[in-house]
Amino acid sequence: MRLRAFALGFVALPFTAAAHHSHAEFSAEVHEVVGELTSVAWRNPHPAITLRVADGDAQGEIWRIQVQGNVNGLSREGVTGDRFRRGDRVRIAGQLSTRRPTVLLASRAELADGTVIVLGPDESTGSALYRGRSEATESRAPDLPSSIFRVWTVANRVRTQELPLNDAARLVKNTWDPVLDDPQRGCRPLGMPGAMMSPHPIEIRRADDNLVVLLEEWNARRTIHMTPASDAEDAVPSLMGYSVGRWEDDTLVVTTTRIDYPYMDEHGTPQTDAVEVVERFTLSTDGRSLNWAATVTDPGTMTEPVVAFTTRWAWIPGEFIQPYDCQELDPL
C-alpha cells in the first residue's frame, strides 16, 4: 500500500531528471506490476530484471523491467543487486513503454518484507536520485584549499531543449529512433560533447604539462593539452576529439575539435566533423562546486552557436571513480 500511494502521487510527473540514456519511449503514466523475479542482470548501463506477474488478468505474463538508475550510482546509495533474487515476490512501479508491451522503466520496488527501494529519480521532491546525498555531504565538507583537481559528483544538469538546428539536421533528429538508434546500445560509449553530461562522477588531474579528465562512465579519459604548441590540425579524430586548454583568471577554458562522433547528445541530435566545443570550468568561491558550460558551434547542423549544456558538480570528500563494467542487457 505504501508503494501504491507513491505511484498515485506520481501519475502526472515525468521521470527524466537523472536520465542519461534515452528514455523517450516511456510515457509519464505510472504502472505497477507484482510478481516473481525470474531473472536479474545487475550491471551497467542499467540493471534489468524479468518478472512473472502473479495477480489479475495478466497472471503468468512475463514483464521486462529496466531499472532507471545505474549500478554505480545505486551502489553509492547502498542499493546492490543482492537485494533482488530469483524467486522473490516484488512490487515494481515505473513508466510504461509506449511501443513495446510488457516493458517497464522502474523507479521503485517494494520487497516482500515491505522495504521500499528507490531505483530512479524522485520527482515528488523535484530531486534526482543522488542529489540529496550530494548536497548533504557537500555541506559537511571540510575547509581545504580550493582546487579544481578533485573528484566531482553531479549536483545539477541542464540541457538546452530548443537547439537552433537547420532543416537538414532537424529532419535527421526527427527520424531518430530512441530504441533502435540509441548510440549506447551494445555498450558503445558516448563521444564529445554528450559524454560530459554523464550522471556519473568525473575527476580532473594534472598530467605533466597537461590535464586529464577521467569520466567514470565508460571508463573514458580525456587529455587537455595545455602547452602553447598544442595544435589540433594534425590530431587523429576520435570520440573525445582533441582538446586544448588555457586559463582565463580562475576559469579553465577548453576548446575541442576533431570529434569523430555523429551525435551531440544521447537523444539523436546530429553533429558533423566541423563541430567545435568550448567548455568553461569555473570553481566556486568556497571550492565546493565546479560549474561547467559547453558552447557548441557546428555550421553543418546549427544556424548559430549555442550553450547546449551546463552542469554543477559538487565536491564530496572521499568520493572516487568506480570501474564501469558494462555488459549488453539481453532482456531489453
Q: What is the pLDDT along the chain (332 residues), one digit of tens a residue?
A: 233 333 333 322 222 334 455 566 788 888 999 999 999 999 888 899 999 998 777 788 999 999 988 999 999 989 999 999 999 999 999 999 888 889 999 999 999 999 999 997 644 333 334 333 444 444 444 555 679 999 999 999 999 999 999 999 999 999 988 777 877 777 889 999 999 999 999 999 999 999 999 999 999 999 999 988 878 888 999 999 999 999 999 999 999 999 999 999 988 999 999 999 999 999 999 999 999 999 999 999 999 999 999 999 999 999 999 999 887 655 44
**Please, what are the domains in the chain?**
2-118 (2.40.50.140), 131-315 (2.40.128.20)
User: How many other C-beta atoms can be found within 10 angstroms of the C-beta atom of residue 145?
Assistant: 5
Of 317, 320, 319, 264, nearest to 295 by C-alpha is 264
Distance in angstroms (rounded) separating the CA atoms of residues 175 and 130: 33
Q: Is 19 helix (H, G, I), strand (E, B) or coil?
A: coil
Helices (H) and strands (E) in the chain, counts: 4, 15
